[in-house]
Amino acid sequence: MVKLRMIIGEYRSTIGNKKRVSLPKKFRDELGEEIILTRGYEDSLILVNKQMWEKVAKEVINGSFINKNIRDTSRFLVGGAVEIETDKLGRFVIPQSLFEHAQLNRDVVFIGLINWIEVWDRDKWEEKLKYLQQRGEDIANEISKMSSKVDG
């Protein structure tokens, strides 16, 4: 039986002086050696492994450059992407442009979301989490509607 790889959990970390942060070991094990870091939505960053990134790249390649939404998505995700290298302790440097995009301070949170990881400034994540908790029932209803469309 093939084991389904799932990147899940929430981990906190601290950014050092040189904008270096340590990727949690569990996430390193799931992502593998080749990791891409790019802009995320809502002032976050996204970490994906090379295989997931190749899926994103195929969608971009297969999209029409005539379509404005595809161009904008390409600029946002692909234009800001970098391959990161981790040291033996799983530390990597966050480039200045991505650091500024996510408005990161010293404390960050890594959020595992099955196929990718979001990196948030801790204070921004706590605000977002409060918002999500307040909207919990609405979110559940939306998910229920989406799954009934898929099932039906």
Residue 1 pLDDT exceeds 60: no
Q: How confident is the model at residue 117 (pLDDT cuts 50, 70, 90)?
A: very high
d(CA 59, CA 53): 10
d(CA 31, CA 45): 15
Domain assignment of residue 152, yes or no? no
Domain assignment of residue 53, yes or no? yes
Write down the pLDDT at residue 91: 96
Say which residue, 16 or 148, is predicted with more confidence: 16
Domain assignment of residue 30, yes or no? yes
Domain assignment of residue 135, yes or no? no
Which CATH number goes with the domain that contains 35? 3.40.1550.20
Domain assignment of residue 100, yes or no? yes
Domain that holds residue 42: 7-122
> What percentage of the chain exceeds 90 in pLDDT?
64
Domain assignment of residue 67, yes or no? yes
Quick one: which of 77, 73, 72 has its CA closest to 52?
77
The count of domains in the chain is 1
d(CA 5, CA 114): 8
- Look at the block and give the residue holding tokens 């909207």: 135
Residue 63 pLDDT exceeds 90: no
Residue 98 pLDDT exceeds 70: yes
Assess contact for 6 and 114: CB atoms under 8 A: yes
Domain assignment of residue 146, yes or no? no
Q: Which letter, b or e, does each residue of 44-72 get, where b requires 16 or more Cβ atoms within 10 Å of its Cβ?
A: bbbbbbeebbeebbeeeeeeeeeeeeeee
Domain assignment of residue 107, yes or no? yes
Write down the pLDDT at residue 103: 98
Lowest mean pLDDT among 1-5, 34-38, 50-54: 1-5
Q: How confident is the model at residue 151 (pLDDT cuts 50, 70, 90)?
A: low
Q: How confident is the model at residue 4 (pLDDT cuts 50, 70, 90)?
A: low
> What percentage of the chain exceeds 70 in pLDDT?
95
pLDDT digits (tens, 9 = 90+) for 34-47: 999 999 999 999 99
Write down the pLDDT at residue 74: 84
User: How much is the average pLDDT of 20-38?
Assistant: 95
